[in-house]
Structure 1
Amino acid sequence: MKITASQVNALRQKTGAGMMDCKKALVEANGDEQAAIDILRKKGQKVAAKRGENETKEGLVIAKVTNGEGVILSLSCETDFVAKNEDFYALVDSLVNCAANSSAQTADDLLNEKFDDKLTVGEKITEQIGVIGEKLEISNFDRVKAEAVVAYNHPGNQIASIVGLNKAGDVAEDAGRQVAMQVAAMAPLALNKDGIDQETIDREIEVGKELAIQEGKPAEMAEKIAMGRLNKFFKENTLLSQDFIKDNKMSVEQFLNQSENGLTVTEFKRVALK
Structure 2
Amino acid sequence: MANFSLADVKALRERLGTGMVDTKNALVEADGDIEKAVEILRLKGAKGNAKRADRSTSEGLVAAKEGSGSTTLIELACETDFVAKNDKFVSLGDKVLDAVVAAGATTVEEALAASVDGQTVAQLIEDQAATIGEKIELRRVAVVTGEKFAVYLHRTSKDLPPQVGVVVAYTGDDADTARGIAQHISFADPQYLSREDVPTEAVENERRIVEEISRGEGKPEAALPKIVEGRLGAFFKQVALLEQEYARDNKLSINKVLSDAGLTVTGFARFKVGA
TM-score by length of 2: 0.84
8 Å contact 1:106–1:142 — kept in the other structure?
yes
**Percent identity at matched positions?**
34
8 Å contact 1:12–1:22 — kept in the other structure?
no
Instruction: Report SS of the residue matched to 2:201.
Output: helix
Distance 1:120 1:36 in 2: 23
* Residue 166 (structure 1) aligned with residue 171 (structure 2): yes
Q: How many positions carry a matched residue from both structures?
A: 267
Give 1:254's aligned residue: 256
Q: Aligned-pair distance for 1:14? A: 4.8
Q: Aligned-pair distance for 1:81? A: 2.0
8 Å contact 2:113–2:120 — kept in the other structure?
yes
Instruction: Report SS of the residue matched to 1:188.
Output: coil
Distance 2:231 2:183 in 1: 26
Give 1:99's aligned residue: 100
Give 2:237's aligned residue: 235
Give 1:79's aligned residue: 80
1:158-195 CA-partner distances (Å, limit 9, x unpaired): 2111111134xxx3332221111011010001000122
Flag the 1:259–1:63 CA change in 2: closer, same or farther, 3 A.
same
Q: Residues 36-115 of structure 1: matches in 2 within 5 Å?
A: 40-115=41-116
Give 1:151's aligned residue: 151
Question: What's the Cα RMSD here?
Answer: 2.8
Structure 2: gaps of 5 or more residues: 157-161
Q: Which has the larger displacement, 147-156 or 67-76?
A: 67-76
Distance 2:272 2:141 in 1: 12
Q: Aligned-pair distance for 1:257? A: 2.0
Instruction: Report SS of the residue matched to 1:101.
Output: helix
Instruction: Report SS of the residue matched to 1:105.
Output: coil
Q: Aligned-pair distance for 1:39? A: 5.1
The AA in structure 2 aligned to 1:63 is A
Q: Aligned-pair distance for 1:10? A: 6.4
Q: Aligned-pair distance for 1:70? A: 1.4
Structure 1: gaps of 5 or more residues: none
Distance 1:96 1:221 in 2: 53
* Residue 267 (structure 1) aligned with residue 272 (structure 2): no
TM-score by length of 1: 0.84
1:222-267 CA-partner distances (Å, limit 9, x unpaired): 233112211221133211121122222322122122112xx21111
Q: Aligned-pair distance for 1:42? A: 3.5
The AA in structure 2 aligned to 1:73 is I
Give 2:221's aligned residue: 219
